[in-house]
Structure 1
């Protein structure tokens, strides 16, 4: 609902209690707890508030199977105010994705799949004829408000005999469009040591904590030199949990070797939302609390860090005058069994639970 309303007694990550007054879709006041005035008061004592959660890797084109879902099912209903579709659509269908955002409450951006067919089939880079450079350029020029980067899924089942060549073409398109790449990594060939050196500053490695043989860590859990070099170049690391791309053991190794947490994303779609192992953004965030990251670091990974990558700092802050995009959540001291993409189960003592959002000034309970 819009108008003037107050989120009363919410607490920041540092435990400071405040009131947030929202009026005409914008943050009108950040006041001492109990002092905010509005036509409607929503008391959220003992509930945390952050800027709206951002999920940098989802699949929000419901027509495609298995990688598809409804925008708001994986957005505001999960406590997420902004989602970024990670290459569901190529040039053939990106206009349809752009049109769908008009009907959704959740903010939507997208990576454009360099294959014109997108995820209509899941070997979309196995035929180089499906990479139409002119169509990519036309789509980017027409949908600059939607497209934030280009997506290339560089793993064996996607590229088949094309090897690393689709990534070389993606690199050229990145330079022509001035857009960064998001590169999905997984089973080889191509070998991970062929893939990572082609990535540049602000490009995104998604699935960096996957437990497949062709991953970024050696048998002892030590990060490969190509990963260290990529981090030094400014390549961005994104979780992209998904059905098959998050391993507790690899995540523990990354933390042990001080590989910084950049963004936590879900790679959520209908199947792994309903049947796991993803379920929700809250569930994925709870896994990183279990791993020993602070609440501050976990929430930063879906707020300030993600907003900074998107070059939309207003999405990652709570500031008077900004459009109100906020997430309300709790941290419950309730045991929960968490499962990774390899079936490894862990029992955590705390879990994060989304309670509601304010998205573009509209309050919605989860």
Structure 2
């Protein structure tokens, strides 16, 4: 018979203090703080608890350089219980990524790169022959339990002379497979207006807060009409911080003009985890506290908002009867330097620090 495990004296992001009682990997009881009973007790002593953090944009295929990393290094070891690989692999290597995910403690989903070579090289859409439509369809059919969408990186260094054509093909593949697109935006050409106009409801714009010239805000910081139109028709905005795709100034403009915070993701891989400016999900979340978002808004962007997009609301809640999928974290109140992708540093007074996760009935310390 499985022993009961209690997380004692933890608090939700709304400051409600609770105990969470688990058995056989499931939540069996939520009580007032100090009232939960079990054979094993972990005293949170005021730590925050949320449903497990979800990172909607990572690169978790270690074979590829520079855009690769170990799944658990950027997952459970950082307080992230679910990661979504953002197109590291195309049809040629998606089977290998899926096989790797079966060995990880972190739950893994993936966007399939429309280029069969994926990020084996970083100009994967310069040759349209690398987009093999039949292999895309076969991969989606074979791994539909893992693949949640298609990925197209539409910026100058990736598409070269192919221009907007890879995105047009991606749109057709999206319609054929009934899967949404995640579209990376960056330097042009193609021009940002041409890219965004092809996106539909539930498609994702990742890197929407980048500070490059071809971004979604004008020189005065106002959102472009093409962005407002996309939001109106249900296009999803994802941060995708990365090495070169998050600007404090652009993020401040977005907040000032009421552009909603959909999902916060890291675009993390080995290089920007070890050397910055990403470092961790906690570091990226701390930047949004600095920007003036509440703790509730910030955590929602990596829990229930992401879970809703994935169509798996159970990943974004803490509820009796659900599998225990939890992240524990603290907030440290002391001055800390944070850096964006432009090299701009800001001093924040609150820093989120991941303490641990509960996955598959196991507590893993960060």
Task: Return 231-240 or 327-336, whichever deviates more.
Answer: 327-336
Cα distance in 1 between the residues matched to 2:293 and 2:114: 35
By how many angstroms is 1:275 displaced?
A: 0.1
1:6 lines up with 2:1 in the alignment: no
> In 1, Cα distance between the equivalents of 2:170 and 2:103?
31
- Asked if the contact 1:3/1:25 (under 8 Å) is kept, the reply is no
Partner secondary structure for residue 42 of structure 1: strand
- Of stretches 2-11 and 282-291 in structure 1, the one that deviates more from structure 2 is 2-11
Q: CA deviation at 1:3?
A: 4.2
Question: Residue 38 of structure 1: CA displacement?
Answer: 1.2
Deviations 1:254-300 (A, max 9, x none): 00100000000000000000000000000000000000000000000
Cross-structure match for 1:51: 51
Q: Deviation per CA, 1:56-110, whole angstroms, max 9, x where unpaired?
A: 0000000000000000000001100000000000000000000001110000000
| 1:334 CA drift (Å) | 1.4
Matched with 1:166 is 166
Distance across 2 between alignment mates of 1:97 and 1:163: 29
- 8 Å CA contact 1:53–1:81 kept in 2: the answer is yes
| Root-mean-square deviation over aligned CA pairs | 0.7
Aligned to 1:198, the other structure's residue is in SS state: coil
**Aligned-pair CA distance for 1:35:** 1.1
Which residue of structure 2 aligns with residue 15 of structure 1? 15
Q: TM-score, normalised by structure 2?
A: 0.99
- Contact (CA 8 Å) 1:8, 1:42: kept in 2 or not? yes
Structure 2 gaps of 5+ residues are none
Please give the alpha-carbon distance, in whole angstroms, between the structure 2 residues aligned to 1:3 and 1:342.
50
Match of 1:144 in 2: 144
Matched, 1:248 2:264: no
Q: Kindly state the Cα deviation for residue 37 of structure 1 after the two structures are TM-superposed.
A: 1.1
Q: Which residue of 2 aligns with 1:201?
A: 201
Q: CA deviation at 1:308?
A: 0.3
Question: CA separation in 2, counterparts of 1:29 and 1:97?
Answer: 36
Question: 1-side partners of 2:3 and 2:283: how far apart?
Answer: 32
Q: Which residue of 2 aligns with 1:352?
A: 352
* Partner in structure 1 of residue 70 of structure 2: 70
Counterpart position of 1:104: 104
Matches within 5 A, 1:220-239: 220-239=220-239
**For residue 275 of structure 1, what is the aligned residue in structure 2?**
275
Distance 2:18 2:97 in 1: 38
Q: Which runs of 4+ in 1 moved over 3 A?
A: none
| SS of aligned partner of 1:92 | coil
1:361, distance to aligned residue in structure 2 (A): 2.2
Name the CA distance, whole Å, in 1 between partners of 2:234 and 2:360.
31
1:181 corresponds to 2:181: yes
Q: Who is 1:36 aligned against? A: 36
Show the counterpart of 2:216: 216
Q: Is the 8 A contact 1:242 1:278 kept in 2?
A: yes
Give TM-score scaled by structure 1 length: 0.99
- Following superposition of structure 1 onto structure 2, how do residues 113-152 of structure 1 map, counting pairs within 5 Å? 113-152=113-152
The C-alpha deviation readout for 1:89-146, integer Å capped at 9, x for no partner, is 0000000000001110000000000000000000000000000000000000000010
In 2, Cα distance between the equivalents of 1:8 and 1:46? 9
Measure the CA separation in 2 of the matches of 1:101 and 1:273. 20
Task: Find the residue that maps to 2:152 and give its secondary structure.
Answer: strand
Q: What is the SS of the residue equivalent to 2:197?
A: helix
Aligned partner of residue 319 in structure 1, secondary structure: coil
Q: Is the 8 A contact 1:217 1:250 kept in 2?
A: yes
Q: Secondary structure at the match of 2:343?
A: coil
How far the C-alpha of 1:46 sits from its partner, in A, is 1.2
Aligned length: 365
Question: 1:103 aligns to what SS in structure 2?
Answer: coil
